[in-house]
Amino acid sequence: MTQDPVPGLLDEATRLLEGEFAALPGFAPVTALAADARAMERILAETARRLGDNYPYFHPLYAGQMLKPPHPVARAAYALAMYINPNNHARDGGRASSEMEIEAVGEIAGMFGWTDGPGSYLGHLTSSGTFANLEALWVAGQLAPGRRVVGCEQAHYTHRRISAVLRLDYGEIAADECGRMRLEGLEAELRKGDVGAVVATLGTTAMGAVDPLDGILALKGRYGFRVHVDAAYGGYFRLTADALDEPARRAYAALGAADSIVVDPHKHGLQPYGCGCVLFRDPSVGRLYKHDSPYTYFTSKELHLHPSEQKSLAGGPVHLGEISLECSRAGAAAVALWATQKLLPLTPEGEFARGLKRGRAAALELDRRLREDVRFAPLAAGKPELDIVVWAVRGPSAREASHHAQELFDACAARGLHLALVQLPGSWFGLAGGAESPPVAGGVTCLRSVLMKPEHEAWMGEIWDRLSAACAEVMSQERS
């Protein structure tokens, strides 16, 4: 690992924070009195050894799951906030961190074109993208009781589970060969007249596919339903949409017209887990959250609603717990996000956006190499939409292709290159055993690489060398 700048940064910042409370009389915390420094040192050493039993998620040779290391400033700010351990459920538990959350969420909303400030939309952080999506579907169910929710078959599995928890009927729409929702399939469901909400995914988990949000919104004008966008993974690509291919570019351009959006700062946003974010275009949905608490909200009676229904933020503090289904939420997550966005503003021309472009460049380069290698079968319909690459290993049948993929996955791991596996339709890869063989039918196990670290661009040569050597070993064993 490279030298970590966080300890030095944190020492000075901690002294500054302690100075903010210097007027308080001194005391000895009971926890400190009971702790043996050498015992703590010994336990932390054991903790470090235990944590070593992990994949190297921080390293460019880890390209398997959606794991991106938090920025050093995010880690330092999170640790600094833990000196106070704020709770952003109420201002009484997180006064400064609540303000920082409102500011940070406002910057995310601005990324999607919602730039009029708090009161023109509703939004807050959550503990995860799953919970953020739950809130969005909960609101959809409250506004259209008894109506169905539908999403693409490539949407995250949690949408079906969330719908079951909320007792909403959920239906799946078939995907095209790029993993995107088929609009003709969606319209067939809409004609039934019982769809209350459509989930559009911008950046599917399996392959980073981008649903045709512009087409979905056009159908909304004809059939009337809420559009929820699960951009937990792909939301930040709104900053670099002009560099994407035309279908994805149109989808991102339409984002501001969605009814609700979810994005996960703990994915591309360089944040520690867990930090999700949910946004609603219509702030009046805040009325659905409104509740009374005799012991929590004693510093303010405001609810973050439309300006016509409440005073502006300048008129007094807002309790974020009044617009969230969660109660206790880590104020440290808000502090870390705020600090990161101050260092790396969410602008198309900024360093943060350049990092996204470098990850996508790595994905396009890997895809190019795969297409030039006869051993591999990349996605037949075209190149990656974001920074996730999926490909199969050629074989005469889905079973053998899947077997090769599993062997290659293991052989890469043995060389320190960590990928992932995913099950997808074999027809999407045009698999064939030879010139006269028909395409492979049914599902096939494929390899998947999430190239979300900016460093992946510079490491593509090393990644390819290890992948190619592992494949040569697998093929050699097959021949013998």
The alpha carbon torsion through 150, 322, 333, 29 (nearest 10 deg) reads -150
Residue 40's pLDDT is what? 87
Co-location of 277 and 166 in the same domain = yes
Q: Is 74 inside a domain boundary? A: no
Domain of residue 384 covers 355-479
The number of distinct structural domains making up the chain is 2
Claim to verify: residue 103 and residue 238 sit in the same structural domain: yes
Q: What was the pLDDT predicted at 315?
A: 39
463 with 339, same domain?
Answer: no
188 and 216 together in one domain: yes
Q: Is residue 89 in some structural domain?
A: no
Phi and psi torsions of 25, nearest 5°? -65, 145
Residues 167 and 108 reside in one and the same domain: yes
CATH code where residue 444 lies = 3.90.1150.10
Dihedral of the CA atoms 463, 464, 465, 471 (nearest 10)?
110
Same domain, 138 and 283: yes
In a shared domain, residues 399 and 324: no
Has residue 399 been placed in a domain?
Answer: yes
| Domain assignment of residue 22, yes or no | no
**Residue-level pLDDT at 318:** 59
pLDDT digit string (tens) for the chain, length 480 residues: 677 888 888 998 998 998 998 899 988 777 766 668 888 899 999 999 999 999 999 999 999 999 999 999 999 999 999 999 999 998 888 999 999 999 999 999 999 999 876 678 999 999 999 999 999 999 999 999 999 999 999 999 999 999 999 999 999 999 999 999 999 999 999 999 999 999 999 999 999 999 999 999 999 999 999 999 999 999 999 999 999 999 999 999 999 999 999 999 999 999 999 999 999 999 999 989 886 554 444 444 444 444 433 433 333 455 788 889 998 999 999 999 999 999 999 999 999 999 999 999 999 999 999 999 999 999 999 999 999 999 999 988 888 999 999 999 999 999 999 999 999 999 999 875 444 445 555 689 999 999 999 999 999 999 999 999 999 999 888 766
Statement to judge: residues 134 and 202 lie in one domain: yes
Q: Which of 287, 321, 343 is the last residue of a domain?
A: 343
- pTM for the full model? 0.92
